[in-house]
Structure 1
């Protein structure tokens, strides 16, 4: 059984902690949070140790895995400390806010003995997993073009409203849009050109964005994402993927959520596992740790490319230019 510490018990930290607490092969042994009330709630809910700082965790050799669910600007500090202490580290996406921080994290991960993965959950979300499996099977031919969208009300629930502050979160383009940009890169590879336009929040964040990505061999994708939807609407995510031999349509608000169209055939509805994406990514990383396997579904380089693509979209919208990686 892997002994785990969750660092940061906000919304996402609470999700992750609850998953570890419910799994048979993980022991949620500690939670780190600087807020007294949060620590008290975590101790009462999970029966685990709690700490105000990460120092006690770094010195505890029994803790094998640290799950970083802290605000993005301090990912570098905490990820590097944990890696240098020999811990296995799962870091909530995005990898970091700046490319300099991303490079520092990847350098530390390369040198460290522990496993490292960024939690880009869409690579583990059932409908997106099945879609990738269809592509990898070759049954639909090569992917040619895609249209992805993702909408969620502005995250006004974060500590100190840090997610609404573009200087700390990067706005919707870094915090939310990155999900689809990463998935599109997983399908098509590294984009050659990135062109984005959007709407800016009162705080100065790019909080509704349209991005066109051109990939090698003339393949193209368009992604849209934003926080400018009414409170109470809930998460909406969609994908239309055009391939040589058919088309895949995905929507979390459709029933069924996944449909495959082929020429002159009835629509098909592939079986979609009922698994939760957050549970799947954590189970996968725990398996990598327990069996000494390097995470392959999402590599540190993949996470760096997702951040670079998102930052290029932000730069494009600011400068009204076409960006190249």
Structure 2
């Protein structure tokens, strides 16, 4: 079903998580911008799906020249809205697309549907076809924003402590302040914290709190997988996970383990994974590490001699200053 609203062409399709039904098809025109919209009704075994709040929804589109676009989509009830980006429509021909849902430790994608991109009458040289991973860029922006928020919270905590000291100084000038002074006479001065007397301000350093970040990286390996990592905070790790596999690689399912790594976590976490061949990006997918230290991948098929590279930031069970990952299994 198609409809037109102003200068937008809206096409409606119905797509199921079950992949054995007839392939749905939409159409678009090469070089169109901000005007081609697909609204997909999402079903599960033929019944409408309830998309829970907090679910991340993206679409992955492979163009006729095999370059890929991964971008975010919006949803309301069980309707997902895809606004095809400029990169989606740079090449005419038949493109394939799927919609991916991520919530906590769950990842599920719809059946693949087709988009027929009809050739334009003119050749727009202003844009070349290339891979576009806007959704991954958004994830990295979220990580950066979270770190900035943490720094801001620490600054506000310092300001609150300063105001508390100032209030205590003012109280010392009142009758109740005299009572507090009398109480302070009973504070022991012979006990210390990290060589700081309890009767004075205790200024703890990151080293005191075992929170000092590393300035260099460490590396450890498990079979095909190499882990490069460093400590960036208390029980906080920045990492890159790299594995090279010879021969053509089949499509990987998130339910199957692809190896092990000594990252100890309380619950599974997800991170982006790039597939490269001969130094060029060949595809993109999702990686997951669980409490059993297993590496799980959800990536498309490709070959030959494929290298998987994942990266991210995660919290770990033990502080990295207290463990040697080369000795853990």
Q: Which has the higher contact order (CA 8 A, sep 6+)?
A: 1
Which structure features the higher share of helix residues? 1
The structure number with the bigger radius of gyration is 2
TM-score range for the pair, normalised by the shorter chain length: under 0.3
Calculate the TM-score normalised by the size of structure 2. Answer: 0.23
